[in-house]
Structures are given as structure tokens and as C-alpha cells.
Amino acid sequence: MHPLRNLTIKSFHEGLMTKKFSALEATQAFFEHIKESDKSIGAYLSLNEENAIKESEKVDLALAKGENLGLLAGVPLAIKDNILIKNLPATAGSRSLEGYLASYDAGVIKKLKSEKAIFLGKANLDEFAMGSSTENSGFHLTRNPHDRERVPGGSSGGSVAAVASDQAVAALGSDTGGSVRQPAGFCGVVGLKATYGSVSRSGLIAMASSLDQIGPITKTVGDAAVLFKAIAGGDQMDSTNAGFNYGDELLSLDLQKIRNLRVGVPDEYFADGLEEEVKVALQRTIEDLKGLKITFKKISLPHTKYALSVYYVIMPAEVSSNLARFDGIRYSRIKGSDVGVSNVKDIYFKHRGDGFGAETKRRVILGTFVLSSGYYDAYYEKAQRVRSLIKRDFDEAFKQVDVILTPVSPTRAFKIGEKVSDPLSMYLSDILTIPANLAGLPAISIPVRTGEPYSRDNLPIGFQLIGRHFREADILGLGQMYEKMNEGNIKTKPG
């Protein structure tokens, strides 16, 4: 493997500053690797080679002039293809948007351009971010780099697979019910879903507006902190943005403060249904953290059992509303001269009928039903009330603890095709990540690091840390402490 590819954000910056390589050399090396390895993985939908080469040359010129460059300058990133980059394809994984080029930059892309980050290309995803395996993409499958017969998770499967296979240093995904954290757990990388409203959603092709959040996918928790700090903050183009200003605490590591954190373990997340190897890995993680003298406390989140049902009422309702804009008029490849198209109604039916995949149609139909006259009160309104109870459970828990530790998914990565014909079984893979979205809380997926193979067949297993609103510093800090312990930089305390 080329030495430039096995890099974190921080080691890339160090190499660039010490002139071990130039930004141009690094970018070219990544494209060489992508063209060779992505044939068997399918992480990308489109590449941005010409522009990326030009931008990397600008970084090298700035460095030669002695300009002060931040940690993300020249860093090669993959961007999920539902996040707009001006003049690049934006398909959201759907044939209905094939050929569409974005007319403006998403809020997070503006911030990353100001940091001089390099965009290698647009990553594959489940269509309109609807799925847990990236098998619902309208274009091609993405495979898990650890086992090509298994899924990478979803819907940010392409972004996660790109990072896990060294086809990008880091990436951006979006998380509506676990779409950053679940694939990160399946592929052995770090995935952060920040507090709702902390990161601009401007330029994110909306799936469910009260749940969606853009998040970083990285190789280390420290890198997640760097990338999150860069994309977080205010944006007048997003009315749901809280404009919260994160300080330097995100990037600092106060070990004593982290050791004082109280960690809650909810019984409901460790109930029947967890794969045995996931149980063992999570118990090992808890024991490791106890060795750092971190206090653990059992807690209860009683309404967790309703989270999946609530999500699959609220999310499809918002999907139905958001996807109404894809009517065949504004973004369509279909023309009135096409066979079988003679009026506007024909355009609607052909565009949505041929352009949307089965899972997208399923969710649009379900969402339209729960919002329809006579059913709104029985389903959507009731779901919103239960959502409030789920949030209240977390509020009560955070009176006792600072952080909550849970599994990311009940199982490790499953085989391609294993759950395609059973939508409910597929939906259950997000059962442990959905509650954080419903409550708007920050949550991170971190690989269990044992110094040994992850499990019997070397499939990654992740654990999840959930924090208070706008307290990303707590979960990022505890995650970094866990990593440093496993690197041998922090010693556990016996007894």
C-alpha cells in the first residue's frame, strides 16, 4: 500500500507541514488507489479528479508562500452524494436525479472550502438516504471493505467504505436514524451525529427535516473532533440551525475532567436480540473504561421500546413532504416528447414511477397515509407525543449521568441480500441509533479496540456514546481517552 493512503487528518497535516509529501502528490496517490480498489468496493458514484488536482496545487502554492494552513488544508475527503457541491453531480443515489448538477454549495461545503479541504468525489448511498445497507442505491452496491460479501451499512455506506478502505482520509455523511453511526460500526471507523441544529442542513437533500444531521466519518475520534469543529456553527441559510458556537474544548483533552464523567448504561439497550459477540465486545469496553476509574451507573430509558415505531411514522411523513418537490418538472430528465408522455400528469407518473426505487416508494406511500385525513391524529400526532416521552427519558437520565454508553447495532455487518426481502428486519438494524435522532442528541460510534481481531471472523463492532445537547466535547473526550488507552498512552488503574 502507498504510504500516503494510511493517514489520519492529523498525520496528513504533519506530513504536509514537514514536506514528506505535497498536497498534489497525496491527491494523485488517492486517485490511483481509488481507480484500483473501488472496482471491488463501489464506494464512489462520481470522482472530482480535475478540480481536486487544481485545488491541491493551490494548497501547495499557499504553503510555499508561508501562509498559515489549518488542519484540513489539502486533506482528501469523500462527500455523500446528498450534500451539494456546486457544479458536481448530486444524485442522492436516485436515478430520478441522474445528470443533475448542483447549483450551489451546501453550508458545510462552504466551510470546508474555506479550510482548503480537497473533495475527491461523491460517495454512494441508499436512495435519498433511505436504507441501512446501501443496497437501495439506484446505481450500484457498495461492499464492506472487511468482507466483500457483506454490506457496509447505510445509508452513508459509500462514505464509510471510502474511509475504511483508505480511499479517503475522512468523509461526510448524513444521519437521520443512524446513517452515519451504524455503517461506521459495521466498517470499523468513527461516525459522529451531532446535536440537531449544530451543523447547517443547507444544501443537504432533505429526507426527514426534523431528524437529518450531517456528520463526520473518520479513522479516529480526534479526527472527528477536528472535522466537526470545522463544519459546526451558524448558517443563515438554515432556519433550523441553532448558531451554537463551539469553543476550543472540542479539540482539547482534559483527562481529569473526562475521568469525572458519569457514564450511564441503559438496561433497554442490552436486552434480548443482541448478537453474542456484540454483548461480549461491549462488556469488554465497559471494563476497559472502568479501569480508567470512570464511574458507571445503571439507568433506564423506558420508552426506548417505542422509538422504532415512532420513527417509522414521523420519518416517512417528512419524506412524503420533502420528496414532493421531485415531481419531474424541476429536476427531471423526462421530456414531453418522450414516449408515453403527453401532459404534466404523465411526467409526474413517469418521473416518480421510473425514477424512484422500491424503498423510496414504500416510504412515500406510508408517509402520505399517516398524514392523510382521518389518520393524522391516530398516527402522526400520537407519534410526536411519544417522541416527547422518549426525549423526557433522556432528560431524566442526564440528571444522573453525563454520557450514555450503548451498542451501535444489535449485530455485526450482515450479508448482502440477507435482509432485502424483509424490510422490518432491515429497519431493526437501526433500533439502537434512532432514539438519539428523535431526541436531537449528539451520539458517536467508536470501534471496539481490543488489540486482537474484532471478532471470530474479524468483523468490526462499534459502541455508541450519547451526550447532552451541545455537549459533543464529552463524548469526543471520552472516545479519545478510550483510544489513547488502547494505544498505551494512558494506563488503567488496578483495583
- Specify whether 179 is catalytic: yes
Catalytic position from the list 80, 111, 219, 229: 80
Cell numbers that stand for 460 in this block: 468490526
Cell numbers that stand for 38 in this block: 473501488
Catalytic position from the list 155, 156, 165, 332: 155
Select from 59, 51, 132 the least CA-distant residue to 428.
Answer: 132
CA separation for the pair 328, 79 (Å, rounded):
25
What backbone phi and psi angles, to 5 degrees, belong to 434? -60, -40
At residue 21, the 3 state secondary structure works out as coil
DSSP track, 1-41: --TTTS--HHHHHHHHHTTSS-HHHHHHHHHHHHHHHHHHH
Order of strands, edge to edge, in the sheet holding 295-299? Answer: 44-47, 118-123, 76-80, 170-175, 213-218, 190-193, 443-447, 462-467, 403-407, 262-266, 295-299
- Specify whether 80 is catalytic: yes
∠ CA 85-179-188 to the nearest 5 degrees? 105
CA separation for the pair 22, 103 (Å, rounded):
31
Using DSSP bridges, classify how beta strands 76-80 and 118-123 pair: parallel, antiparallel or unpaired. parallel
Residue 110 is given by DSSP the state H
Helices (H), 398-468: 423-427, 434-439
CA separation for the pair 215, 230 (Å, rounded):
11
Q: How many CA atoms lie within 13 A of 122 on its CB side?
A: 22
What backbone phi and psi angles, to 5 degrees, belong to 315? -60, -50
Catalytic position from the list 22, 133, 137, 179: 179
Catalytic residues: 80, 155, 179
